Amino acid sequence: MKGTQLGELEELILLTVASLYDDAYGVAIMKEIAERTNRKITISTVHAALKRLEEKGFCTSRYDGATPERGGRRKHLFRVTAAGQQALENSRAIRNSLWDRIPKIAFEHGK
């Protein structure tokens, strides 16, 4: 399946979902990313990515916790599944192995 690969933005969002643990919903994710990475992404982008992640089976969602400022609407909360965890670990492993393979001399600019 083509969709099992994690995109850069998807990875970022999935990591954020994991880090927020039980309070991962659209606005919270958007704000967390803005805070941690200084990247401004729109709310609809977050939702679109979350939907793709859910379709790929990397996270599950449930509704909970209505608040007055949400007009009485519940939060759509996300949690990372085992498959999601696997995907995150895979991509981390790939990165690590690539990092390990970099010879020291490659980063000695101008020395």
Partner 1 sequence: MGSKLNTWLDRLLERFCDPHLFEGIKGDLLELYAYDLETGSTQKAKWRHLLRVIGFFRIVFLNKSRSMLWQKVALLRSYFTTTWRVGLRNKTSTTVNLSGLILGITACIFLALYIHHEWSYERHFTNHERTYRLVIDMEYGNELVELAITPTGLAHKVHSELSQVTSHTILRRYSHFHFHKGEELVSIKRMYRTDQNLHEIFDYQWVAGDPLQALKNPHSLVVTTTTAQRLFGDSYALGQTITADDGSIYTVTGIITDPPATSHFHPEAFVSMTDPTEQLSMDAWRWAAYIQLKEGVQAAAFQQELDQLANEIFTATGHNGRGKIWVKMQPLTDIHFTSRRKFELEPNDGNLLYLKGFCILFLLILLMSIVNFINLSTAQASQRLKEIQVRKTFGAFQGNIRGQFLFETACYVLFALLISILLVGLLQPAFEHFAEVSSPLSIDWPTGGLVIGGFLVLTYATGLYPAKYVAKLAASRNPKTKGFRSSLVLIQLTLCTLVISATTVIYLQINFMNQQDLGFNKEQVMYVNLDQSDREHFHELSNALQQLPAVTHVAATYQLPGDIPPVNNFQFHTADGEQKLVCPHIYVDHGFLDALQIELLAGSNFKPYRGEESIGLIVNEQFLRSTGWSPQEAIGKTLKSGTRFEDKIIGVIRNFHFNSLHTAIEPLVIRHASGSQYMLVRLATQDLSATINQMTDTWQEIAQTPEVNFAFLDQNFQQQYNKDEKRADFFAGTSLLIIFISLSGLFGLSTYAAQRRLKEMSIRKVHGANQWHIIQLMTGPFFRLSLLAAVLATPAAYWLLTRWLQNFAYAITLQWWMLLVPVSLLMLLVVSVLSVKCFQVVWINPAKILRNE
Residues of the shown chain interacting with partner 1 in the complex, contacts defined by CB under 8 A:
25-27, 42-45, 47-48, 51, 61, 63, 66-67, 69-76
Contact 61, 77 (CB under 8 A): yes
* Nearest distance in Å: CB 70, partner 1: 4
Residues contacting 58, CB < 8 A, separation 6+: 6, 10, 14, 80, 81, 83, 84, 87
Instruction: Specify the residue, 45 or 81, whose C-beta has the smaller distance to partner 1.
Output: 45
CB of 35 to partner 1, least distance (A): 14
For partner 1, the closer CB: 31 or 95: 31
CB 6 within 8 A of CB 88: yes
